[in-house]
Amino acid sequence: MTTLDQAKIRKMLLAFVLGALGGGGAMAAFLWLGFEPGWRVEQVAVGGVGVVYLVTGLFTLGGALMPGMGARVLNVADREELVEMRNMLVGSSVSAIALGIMLLALVGSGPGGAVPDIVVIAAVGLSLLTIGVIGVKQWRLYDELWRQLSWESSAFAMSILLPILLIWSVAVHLGWLSAMDPLLVIAVAAASMLVGAFIAAGRRGMLAPR
């Protein structure tokens, strides 16, 4: 095993430990909070996906703003790569954080919920606006690989989401299942986007340790 391989393994382990501590800690805190008021499954699902977006966004944003530290954890060749990608990474991170906040705001909303409707509407509106504006700006920063990745991750997300919604809807139509809760639809859609992005990145070798 070369020194480079050892360095890659060390970096992967560090990223894994930090991810487990940060992500696992945030998820545990969310679930601990959730058990108290007795949230429903769909609330836990949408909040769980929200936590993943939030933590991923915060980690990436931290790495992009502190490239020296970020290069030790994020899957990049070196510090300079993070500096080169800063604008793009900051945009993606802020979008992920906005989506995470939106999903978390939805958890405590609805009839009898602690979060007022106006707060949820503001959170959803602001998040969608942020994601839309950043999406347009990001597209201009993307080179051809990133644009291809963007198309592919959307296609994978749709390939995951559509069968779930279609099959569930057919089952509801036949009277075998009850209609899917709107929060669960949102959770499944957001999770599909996440999984789609991972599949697309993996296929292009971007999850291989660097």
Partner 1 sequence: MRNLVREMREAKGWSQGELARRLGVSRQTINAVETDKYDPSLPLALRMAVLFEVPVPSLFIDDWTPEETL
> If DSSP codes are grouped into helix, strand and coil, which group holds residue 26?
helix
Q: Which of residues 97-136 bind partner 1 (CB under 8 A)?
A: none
- Of 50-58, 139-147, 173-181, 187-195, which segment contacts partner 1 by CB under 8 A? 139-147
Work out how close the CB of 16 gets to partner 1 at its nearest, in angstroms, rounded to a whole number: 21
Residue 136: Cβ-neighbour burial (10 angstroms; 0-12, 13-18, 19+) = exposed
Cα separation values, 155 from 87, 89, 97, 161, 193, Å: 25, 21, 22, 10, 9
Least Cα distance to 139 among 131, 147, 130 occurs for: 147
Work out how close the CB of 161 gets to partner 1 at its nearest, in angstroms, rounded to a whole number: 25
How many residues of this chain interact with partner 1, rule: CB under 8 A?
16
Quick check: 148 binds partner 1 (CB under 8 A)? Answer: yes
Quick check: 152 binds partner 1 (CB under 8 A)? Answer: no
| Cβ atoms 22, 57 nearer than 8 A | no
Q: Pick from 40, 79, 86, 210: which binds partner 1 (CB under 8 A)? A: 210
- Contact residues toward partner 1 (CB under 8 A) are 77, 80-81, 84-85, 143-146, 148, 203-206, 208, 210
